[in-house]
């Protein structure tokens, strides 16, 4: 038999978020390490048994993590920074200290895992880092799996991806790069592979997704030499090196030239790889882990298409393993439990369990079980558009098709800023990003509405009370441009998704975002439209309470896509334009209701940036275009703001300019205004509000600190265009922090105005 089935990885939070609950109880001191370990062991066992019962030939191991797989890997190779080691804690508590910080010691940096919504902890390395293997966790996993009678394949981050995702520690030399440690690290892997083969591992999976990004010639050469070295080890398991989320490009033939037995590729994001692989003779001696089922989106697979690709591959490779394009970590567990979902949406969905079934079915079809083959062939190619045109809205499609360049163009900025003088704003105008702290009362009201304990009218009344309080507070503090505080929003994407046609919500569709934080992304399944105004009532109410301008607050089209599961049957740009048109209508309604400033948040503009440089221009075209479509109908006198966060703006700086917003508020406090130099480089000439208050920390900045950030900003932006605001929304903070911090911010702005 030269075909088999597996998946690259599986969710670990538990079908009912059991891990999240257990970990948080442990943090709160309500359960001990033993009890936490018991929950974890049960989850692993349940997962393996389920995967094996469903018919997978082999299952992944070492994909479980209490918090993050990168974090576990830091401990595996003994690269725990000294400041955490010196705490003298147990391995578990050391891991949590790195993840969450402890006393005076901050946490490791958290950043996005490629272009997904998963976040990993960034290893810190320097010249003095010496690796020391501790393989107790993967060895324990192997033993557990063996006891259950399943064939498990331990999964690890590959040495080069580990280094390429690391950063130099604070004490590293100026030109130290983590990749310089490759030699040393590979020794630790050699030892690891030796221990694993002793423990009975047949295959080991090493993930090298960093090679779907642009890599230098040196980095490519290092890939080849590293895997030649590992493949030459006398005593080791078989190796499969996997890439995912894109096309490995030049890395593919280099890997194929080494003696690793297996190569894994993502054929969903890079279907053209099928032909390339078929053209590389080296693959005739390899086992190909063919990622034919999408590991990161929620649609049922096109099994007919996958089957024909698999058939081509079967003739071109030594052995074929049908698999997922990536770990299933990025999708929820099970669509069967979503009983409240419209069946016409549900029948098009496949979550992790259903994807396992698809992999198994493909495997059976390939083994020419005729009944299964016929069954697979009979299944419709699961486009998003369902039975009887469900999800199709001809009016929306016609509107998108009829769009003109003029729809994305406002009057020149000079003309607009003149018209906006009627707002009567001072230089160094002060504002906030939108949300105010979500108090216990606010959350209680939402919970009570959900359970039916209060009526919609009562809920609305409580929200109005909250808005009234927030407006009064902002007036008293002396802010210039006010917000209503967003108390009615559970989440900035979900809130709009719930009101737009074409979006569905799940009940238990949780996916891990980082650590114990899980999100439930809405599912954008059809043409998007806005049946009725979404925010005007709240905005108009807030504006009725004050003379000062209140900003209308919307989530931009790119962010609405980035934090949802989106349809894959049409270009993202078309979907984004549909969302943009709904927002455009909303802005018109806000303006009609007397709102003079509208903020369209795009914190995710950076996140969706393609992994390869060559794809970025096209991305920025549609993403920026959709924002401009959303805002392009606003009259000149209406001031359009946008907001971005999560730093590292370098690659999207031209895009930020392209948005053509009148005012851009942007995270900047932690990086000490780094973004301003980038903006100056491209001659950015509109309003900008670099954050002077780091809201990601509970610390309340003092006057000197705020003032110094403001002075730094004034060095590169003239006061007339400079806004004074926090880094991001205040939702996650408390009033005891926010109240003094905002007063300090206003005082700093006023003092700076005096000096103009």
Is 433 annotated as belonging to a binding site?
yes
Single out the residue of 645, 692, 730, 752 in contact with Zn ion (rule: CB under 5 A). 645
Interacting positions 593-622 with ligand GLN (CB under 6 A)? 601, 603
The phi, psi pair for 489, rounded to 5°, reads: -105, 120
Rounded to the nearest angstrom, the gap between the alpha carbon of residue 300 and the centroid of all alpha carbons in its chain is: 22
Does 701 participate in binding ligand GLN (rule CB under 6 A)? no
Is 119 annotated as belonging to a binding site?
no
CB of 644 to Zn ion, least distance (A): 7
Please report how the helices 182-198 and 136-148 are oriented relative to each other, as an axis angle in degrees rounded to 10.
30
By DSSP bridging, strand 152-157 and strand 119-121 are unpaired
- Give, as one character, the DSSP assignment of residue 149: T
Does 474 participate in binding ligand GLN (rule CB under 6 A)? no
CB of 276 to ligand GLN, least distance (A): 39
In 6-143, the DSSP E strands lie at: 59-61, 110-112, 119-121, 124-125
Does 492 participate in binding ligand GLN (rule CB under 6 A)? yes
160 within 8 A of 200, measured Cβ to Cβ: no
Name the CA dihedral angle for 628, 630, 633, 639, rounded to a multiple of 10 degrees: -80
What CA–CA distance (Å, rounded) separates 702 from 650?
29
CB of 729 to Zn ion, least distance (A): 6
Does 121 participate in binding ligand GLN (rule CB under 6 A)? no
Q: Which is nearer to ligand GLN, 612 or 670 (CB)?
A: 670
Q: Which does 382 bind (CB under 5 to 8 A by kind): Zn ion, ligand GLN, none?
A: none
Q: Which stretch binds ligand GLN (CB under 6 A): 88-96, 431-439, 473-481, 502-510?
A: 431-439
Does 553 participate in binding ligand GLN (rule CB under 6 A)? yes
What CA–CA distance (Å, rounded) separates 251 from 210?
10
CB of 646 to ligand GLN, least distance (A): 8
Residues designated catalytic: 696
Q: Which is nearer to ligand GLN, 362 or 728 (CB)?
A: 728
Chain residue at closest Cβ approach to ligand GLN? 729
Q: Which does 602 bind (CB under 5 to 8 A by kind): Zn ion, ligand GLN, none?
A: none
Following DSSP, what letter does each residue of 272-288 receive, concatenated?
A: THHHHHHT-GGGGGSEE
Q: Which is nearer to ligand GLN, 443 or 703 (CB)?
A: 443
Does 123 participate in binding Zn ion (rule CB under 5 A)? no
594 within 8 A of 195, measured Cβ to Cβ: no
Q: Which is nearer to ligand GLN, 384 or 652 (CB)?
A: 652
Q: Which is nearer to ligand GLN, 434 or 573 (CB)?
A: 434
31 within 8 A of 25, measured Cβ to Cβ: yes
Is 18 annotated as belonging to a binding site?
yes
Q: Which is nearer to ligand GLN, 244 or 563 (CB)?
A: 563
Q: Which does 492 bind (CB under 5 to 8 A by kind): Zn ion, ligand GLN, none?
A: ligand GLN
Integer angstrom CA distances of residue 240 from 53, 157, 205, 334, 363 = 24, 12, 5, 28, 19
User: Degrees (nearest 5) of the Cα angle 52, 54, 56?
Assistant: 55
Is 617 annotated as belonging to a binding site?
no
Single out the residue of 9, 15, 248, 603 in contact with Zn ion (rule: CB under 5 A). 603
CB of 667 to Zn ion, least distance (A): 6
Integer angstrom CA distances of residue 421 from 432, 720, 755 = 20, 11, 22
User: One symbol per residue from 633 to 672: x for binding ligand GLN (CB under 6 A), - otherwise; what is it?
Assistant: ----------x-x---------------------------
Q: Which is nearer to Zn ion, 11 or 603 (CB)?
A: 603
Residue in 154, 165, 144, 221 with CA at minimum distance from that of residue 189: 154
Does 728 participate in binding Zn ion (rule CB under 5 A)? yes
- Give, as one character, the DSSP assignment of residue 330: G
CB of 666 to Zn ion, least distance (A): 8
Is 17 annotated as belonging to a binding site?
yes
The phi, psi pair for 153, rounded to 5°, reads: -115, 105
Q: Which is nearer to ligand GLN, 204 or 728 (CB)?
A: 728
242 within 8 A of 157, measured Cβ to Cβ: no
Handedness of CA 453, 456, 458, 461 (dihedral sign): positive
> What region does 433 belong to: left with phi over 0, alpha with psi -120 to 50, or beta?
alpha
What CA–CA distance (Å, rounded) separates 286 from 126?
36
What CA–CA distance (Å, rounded) separates 453 from 586?
31
Give the DSSP H or E segment for 292: strand 287-293
Single out the residue of 142, 332, 729, 733 in contact with ligand GLN (rule: CB under 6 A). 729
Q: Point out which residues bind ligand GLN (CB under 6 A).
A: 433-435, 486, 492, 553, 601, 603, 643, 645, 728-729, 731
Could you list the residues known to form a binding site for 5-methyltetrahydropteroyltri-L-glutamate, using ranges. 17-20, 112, 117, 517-518, 563, 607
Could you list the residues known to form a binding site for L-methionine, using ranges. 433-435, 486, 601
Could you list the residues known to form a binding site for L-homocysteine, using ranges. 433-435, 486, 601
Q: Point out which residues bind Zn ion (CB under 5 A).
A: 603, 645, 728
């Amino acid at each position: 038999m030269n075909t088999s089935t597996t998946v690259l990885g599986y969710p670990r939070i538990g079908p009912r978020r059991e891990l999240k609950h257990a970990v948080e109880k442990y943090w709160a001191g309500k359960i001990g390490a033993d009890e936490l370990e018991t929950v974890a062991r049960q989850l692993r066992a349940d997962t393996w048994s389920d995967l094996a019962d469903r018919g997978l030939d082999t299952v992944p191991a070492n994909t479980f993590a209490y918090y993050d797989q990168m974090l576990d890997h830091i401990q595996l190779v003994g690269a725990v920074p000294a400041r955490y080691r010196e705490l003298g804690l147990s391995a578990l508590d050391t891991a949590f200290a790195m993840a969450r910080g402890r006393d005076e010691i901050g946490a490791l940096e958290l950043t996005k895992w490629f272009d997904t919504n998963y976040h990993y902890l960034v290893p810190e390395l320097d010249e003095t880092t010496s690796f020391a293997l501790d393989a107790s966790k993967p060895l324990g996993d192997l033993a557990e799996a063996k006891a259950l009678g399943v064939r498990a394949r331990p999964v690890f981050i590959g040495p080069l991806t580990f280094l390429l995702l690391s950063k130099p520690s604070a004490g590293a030399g100026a030109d130290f790069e983590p990749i310089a440690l490759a030699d040393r690290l590979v020794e630790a892997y050699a030892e690891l592979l030796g221990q694993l083969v002793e423990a009975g591992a047949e295959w080991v999976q090493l993930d090298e997704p960093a090679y779907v990004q642009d890599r230098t010639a040196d980095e490519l050469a290092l890939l080849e030499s590293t895997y030649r070295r590992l493949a030459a080890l006398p005593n080791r398991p078989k190796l499969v090196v996997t890439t995912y989320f894109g096309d490995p490009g030049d890395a593919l033939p280099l890997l194929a030239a080494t003696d690793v037995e297996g190569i894994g590729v993502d054929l969903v994001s890079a279907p053209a790889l099928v032909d390339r692989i078929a053209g590389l003779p080296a693959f005739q001696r390899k086992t190909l882990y063919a990622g034919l089922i999408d590991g990161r989106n929620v649609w049922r697979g096109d099994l007919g298409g996958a089957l024909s690709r698999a058939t081509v591959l079967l003739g071109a490779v030594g052995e074929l393993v049908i698999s997922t394009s990536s770990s299933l970590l990025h999708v929820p567990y099970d669509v069967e439990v979503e009983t409240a979902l419209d069946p016409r949406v549900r029948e098009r969905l496949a979550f992790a369990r259903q994807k396992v079934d698809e992999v198994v079915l493909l495997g059976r079809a390939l083994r020419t079980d005729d009944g299964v083959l016929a069954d697979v062939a009979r299944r419709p190619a699961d486009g998003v558009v369902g039975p009887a045109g469900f999800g199709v809205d001809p009016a929306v499609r016609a509107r998108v098709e009829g769009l003109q360049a003029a729809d994305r163009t406002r009057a020149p900025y000079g003309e607009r800023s003149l018209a906006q003088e009627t707002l009567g704003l001072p230089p160094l105008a002060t504002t906030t990003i939108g949300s105010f702290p979500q108090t216990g009362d606010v959350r209680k009201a939402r919970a009570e509405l959900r359970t039916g304990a209060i009526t919609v009218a009562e809920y609305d009344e409580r929200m109005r009370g909250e808005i009234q309080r927030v407006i009064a507070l902002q007036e008293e503090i002396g802010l210039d441009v006010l917000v209503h505080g967003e108390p009615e929003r559970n989440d900035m994407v979900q809130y709009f998704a719930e009101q737009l046609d074409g979006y569905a919500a799940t009940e238990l569709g949780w996916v891990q975002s980082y650590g114990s934080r899980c999100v439930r992304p809405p599912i954008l399944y059809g043409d998007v439209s806005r049946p009725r105004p979404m925010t005007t009532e709240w905005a108009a109410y807030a504006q009725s309470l004050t003379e000062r301008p209140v900003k209308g607050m919307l989530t931009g089209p790119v962010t609405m896509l980035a934090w949802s599961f989106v349809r894959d049957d049409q270009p993202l740009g078309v979907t984004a334009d549909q969302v943009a048109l709904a927002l455009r209508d909303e802005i018109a309604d806000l303006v009609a209701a007397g709102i003079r400033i509208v903020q369209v948040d795009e914190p995710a503009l950076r996140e969706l940036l393609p992994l390869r440089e060559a794809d970025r221009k096209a991305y920025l075209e549609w993403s920026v275009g959709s924002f401009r479509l959303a805002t392009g109908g606003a009259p000149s006198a209406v001031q359009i703001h946008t907001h971005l966060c999560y730093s590292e703006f370098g690659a999207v700086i031209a895009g930020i300019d392209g948005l053509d917003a009148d005012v851009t508020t942007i995270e900047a406090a932690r990086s000490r205004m780094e973004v301003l130099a980038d903006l100056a480089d491209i001659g950015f000439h509109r309003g900008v509000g670099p954050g002077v208050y780091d809201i990601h920390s509970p610390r309340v900045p003092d006057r000197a600190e705020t003032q110094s950030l403001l002075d730094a900003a004034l060095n590169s932006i003239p006061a007339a265009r400079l806004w004074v605001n926090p880094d991001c929304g205040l939702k996650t903070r408390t009033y005891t922090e926010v109240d003094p911090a905002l007063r300090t911010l206003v005082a700093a702005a006023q003092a700076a105005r005096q000096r103009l």
